[in-house]
Structures are given as C-alpha cells and as structure tokens.
Structure 1
Amino acid sequence: MAAELLNELSLSSPLTVHRWSTAAAARGHQSIVVHAGSGRELDDVRTYCRESGSALIELATGSKLEMAESGFPVILCPNTNILMLKFMNMLARSGRLFKGCQIELTESHQTEKRSAPGTAIAIAQSLGLSAQDVVSVRDREEQLTALRIPAEHLGRHAAHSIHIEDGACRISLETRVYGASPYADGVAKIVSAIVSHQLENRVYAIDEFVEHGWV
C-alpha cells in the first residue's frame, strides 16, 4: 500500500508527497503523515507527529494507536475507499435489522494478501456475524470462474458479496474494487479534509469524517 500511494497519490497544491525518512522527520515541519507500513517505524512517526503537531493517518488495521493517548490528531482508516466507507457506515447503522436472517459473506483479494480481511470482518460485525463466518477466496481459478473477477485485476482487487435471506426473500449486495486508484483518491480526500478542518488532539475513526460529510 505504501509503495502504491507513493506512485498514485496526487494532492492539490501546495501539498506534495514525500517518502518517510529519518532525515525528513528530524526537520520537525508540520505535516500530514500517512502510515501504511508494518509498524517498524511507528514509534518514530509518533514522536515526529507529537513534536511537530502533525496529523497521522493510520492505514494499518489493529494499530496500537487505537487505544493510545496520542497528543496529536490520529485518523484510523482501515479502508480509504470513500464509497466503501459510506457503504460500511450504512451497514453499521442498519445491520441489526437483519437479525435472525440467514447471512453469507464472502470476500476475495489477490492471492498475495496474507493479512486479515479487515473490511470483511467489519462488515461481518455489523451484520451480527463473527470473523470465522467470513469465507475468504484466494484461489485464482475460483476468482475467475465463480466470482467473475476480470483476469487483469486478479493481482489487485477487493470483492465482497453479501447474501441475506429469510426463506421467502433473498437480498444480495456486492462491492468490487479494482486496482489501487480508489484508495489513493480516498487518501487525497482525507488529507484535504484534515487541511480544511481544525482537528482535536485525539483519535478519530474515519467514520466520523464520513458522518460529518467531510469526505
């Protein structure tokens, strides 16, 4: 994700994109830091943000920043596709309405993905399911035939399908994201929202930005 953002992220002037480095952090300029790494440099990033008054966009799921006192604005973004975030927000508000129904949830990502499917797990929780109820597909042949993922997007995609039924009625919901551009566009919108609003020194869930209409 970090490499993709460096290549795809486009910001409005005067903002520019720079690769994280110890030298850059030492200058202490106020910035907006996007953390999408494994966490190896997270302590240095936190120190930099605290000393410079910079905001931090945290893209990693299960980050230790979720429960920590930050002293600077932290925006938790397990997903930066804005349309997906709005869809997930809708499910979080209304998922309880389907209690008692039979629900199936399937997610598919590129074969190389080894981390937990955070978006699918969040959707499951909204629908009253557990993480173990999520069916994950990583087999390329199944993705091509059963899920109809275009061959050119097997290497970078995120697809989720939800089926809800009560015996007499069946509802199907589907989301498909191809390539990296939707995520980079979402980060650009989140950065713009941070620039446009005076944030408190606390942890924000990206849902707050969605609900306020900032993104």
Structure 2
Amino acid sequence: MNADDLYFDIYKITNSDVEANVKKITPVYPEEISVMEYHKAILTGLRENFSVLTPREYCVAKVHLGILKKIVSTNRPGIIFESDIVIDFEKVRRFIQLKKPDDYFFHLGVLQENFPKTNLFWIKKFKINDGDVWYQLFKTDQLWGAYAYAITPRVARAIVDAQKSVIRKADDWTGIFSSLRYKVYHYPLFFHPIERGELHCERSESRVSFKKALLGKIKLKLYSIVNRYLAIIMFRRISIKDR
C-alpha cells in the first residue's frame, strides 16, 4: 500500500522502525513525567470520576491524546496502532473500502484470549460482499484496549475537548463516549497477542491495592463512627466550663 492510496494517516506507538507510510509516535514512560504532573492527574481523576490512573496508564493516555490532537490539527482521519500490533495493510485496505458514516470511531481489534467469543452486543450488523461483517455496538462497557482503532477529526476533537479537565484511561471507551453523541463501531480485524506487557501487570496490581485501600478506609470510617456513638452514650464530653 502506497501513502498516496490513503486519505488518512496511520500512526503507530513504538520505539521500533516503522513502514514508510506509517507515522511513528514515541511512547512516554513514567520516569519521563514529573511528580507534580502525575499528582495533578490523579487528584482530578479522583475528584471527577473517582478513578486513579497508574503511572503507565497516564502515560499511555497522554500519548493517545497527543495523537488525537494531531488528527484534529491535520483534519485527516487516522488509524492508531500500539506497538504489539502487526499492521496488515491488506486489512487496512479492507477498512478503507468500507462504506462508512461521515464521522466515526471504529475499534478494529480483538483480544486473542477472548476469540471467538466476546461480551460485545450489537445494534446493527453490516455485511460485506466477501462475507465479512462489522457492527454498531449497543454498549462499550466490554470494549477493551486502545491497540487498534480508527477515528475521524470531529470525533477526535470531541474526545480531546471532553478531557480538558480530567484525563481518562486510553481505553475507557464507556467513560469517553458516555457524554458524546457519536456511535461506536466494531470491525474485528487485528488480534492483540495473548502476551501482555507491563501496563497489564501494573493495572492488576493497582486494582488489588485500590480495593484493599478502599476497604481499609471504609473499615476505619465505620470504626470511627461506632466509637464516637459509644463515647456519646457511655462517657461525658470534655467541656471548658468544667475547668
């Protein structure tokens, strides 16, 4: 596939070399962001939607937002791939040839461990001449990963504008699209390998730690409330007048 064949841009987040018609986006790593920047991100996340991004989640989200801003500034649709996806340009061509809406978000991936079953439910099914299908999704709560997706500038702008105050996980599609009027489509072309990277491990550890911390906070609050009412019932309150 030649770059001249494309009316949009292909981006890949990677440290490795890329094909001539692919725009390389260098990843951001936790050690490259300041403590104050991350501190601000987690405070706003807690305040706005009671969620905390891990350092790697924040970095991944920051990179994806940067690409979306490029798509807005160039006013050209884009396909975004993460480093663990092998770009099959024949599949890219199949996507290009779809009769699509004017503005769209297409998730183009499948988690390999979930294949062939998924927990995604569709409203509309669109059949292609070769027997392939793509879908308009009913809900996005089981749509995971930001490793392969296509987006138009108008939808990219809406996502960027919606995250001016708080940055979300790159693949928090439910949170991202909850306030947007755009439909979400799924065309399962690219498989994510079963092997997961450091982000997945960090997420798993964070979920366990967050649940433990939350339960601990609840226990302390309940303990404080019970002790307070016991004190009111059983003991006398200190008063300055008693002195």
Would the TM-score normalized by the shorter structure come out above 0.5?
no
Give the TM-score normalised by the residue count of structure 1: 0.27
Give the TM-score normalised by the residue count of structure 2: 0.25
Larger Rg: 2
